[in-house]
Amino acid sequence: MLRHASATGASARVTDRLGAPSPAVRPRLPIPAVRGTCTNTQPENPAAVPRFSIVAAAGAKSAKAAGAAGAKAGKGFGAAKAPPAQDTCACGSKKVYRECCEPYHSGAAAPADVEAALRARFCAFVKGRVPYLVSTFHPLYHSFKYEGSAPGGSMDQLRRDVEAATKRFTYSALKVLEVAPGSHPDESFITFRYNSINKVNPERNVDGSVKVGTTVERSRFLRDPAVGPGWRFADYELIDYPTWMEEAKQAEQRARGAVVEGAGAGAASS
């Protein structure tokens, strides 16, 4: 019995091994064949790619190139950018210098009216255009500024004074306040305001910063075909001014005193 039982048990164990698999053992599944992966994403036949995708890609490239070109040229949507500060005309027009006062300074054009003449002169003082400035004075200014001088007779002194003014002071913030006609069509008065700084002997505020002075001036311009085209600076009146403009004010007062005395003598002799 024991031998039979033993044999039977062994047979049973063999049957278990050769028969149905134990639930704890999972059958192996067949592994599918794996082909090599190709890294080339380009189609074997470009003609097989839909045309709309090619057009879209080309359009995207064109748009990108156009955008880059537009950005480089300063074009595109939005308001135009203001010119750099160093290119802006000093006359206060907010235009580019080469399109504003530079043609006047180079002699390529002449100011069309008295305000343009004033602005061109102011810009010339800022930029140190001495030859142009000398050409904008009316001959009567010589008699006004330089005592005993004949009209146009103090050209050398005028040139020295103008050059000194461009080197001693900086000018900015021109504001035209009024343009008024004179006693005849070829006379005009213009009142304006501007800032200046004495570069040679700068005055300072309490905090140590350089003092900026404000001048209000009323200038007289004359137009005389015998002298030349356009409006020319004849004389001035300082209405408000900083301390470093005192010398100019004294010269003005002396000139006006001489004019008044001359007028009085003429009236007495008549």
pLDDT at 18: 46
pLDDT of residue 187: 98
- Please, what are the domains in the chain? 85-262 (3.10.450.50)
pLDDT by 10-residue block (mean), the chain, 270 residues: 46 48 57 53 54 50 51 52 73 95 96 97 97 96 88 92 96 98 97 96 92 97 90 97 91 77 48
* Predicted pLDDT at 222: 97
Confidence at residue 7, expressed as pLDDT on a 0 to 100 scale: 45
Pairing of strands 169-181, 231-240: unpaired
What integer pLDDT is reported at residue 89 of this predicted model?
Answer: 97
Residue 128 gets the label, from left (phi > 0), alpha (psi -120 to 50) or beta, of left
Distances 173 to 35, 70, 219, 256, 262 between C-alpha atoms, Å: 79, 34, 17, 28, 37
**Which residue blocks in 78-154 are alpha helix, DSSP H?**
102-106, 114-127, 130-135, 139-145
Which residues sit opposite 121 in a β-bridge?
A: none
